[in-house]
Structure 1
């Protein structure tokens, strides 16, 4: 018996999903995250939250949106991985 093989086995689509990216670059990094997601889905200003680290070295950017398929989810993560200064994706 095999376990789940992908997001389609663990989630029901469409669903609300929060992407969180942490990286260097301040506001430039935040804009890069939003633009990377916009390649695959519309992003409203209300859906974006960002916060700087205590010393301002890192920026945490959260974006909540509706994801319609496992392929869309994978495509967004692939796009996010190309951002300069990215340190972590959740």
Structure 2
């Protein structure tokens, strides 16, 4: 059984990660992107998987223009063109099964 101190410490750790995540999402000059979050989820799904719902909300960051979850970039030279967006969608689908 957890002591009150252990419970508060665990709760604080979760709250700190939530706060840090929201700070990254809302950063004024370098906000988190779908690619960033997908990489975090892939690297540590137990820790970052709870933020998977944000994948639908975050923009694609690519070469000065933004894309949203349902958009596949067709801008020539964009680092998120076609296959990256489709690969991310496939990854999210596999995680939801």
TM-score range, shorter chain: under 0.3
User: Of Structure 1 and Structure 2, which has the larger fraction of its residues in strand?
Assistant: 1
Instruction: Flag the structure with larger Rg.
Output: 2
More relative contact order, 1 or 2 (CA 8 Å, 6+ apart):
1
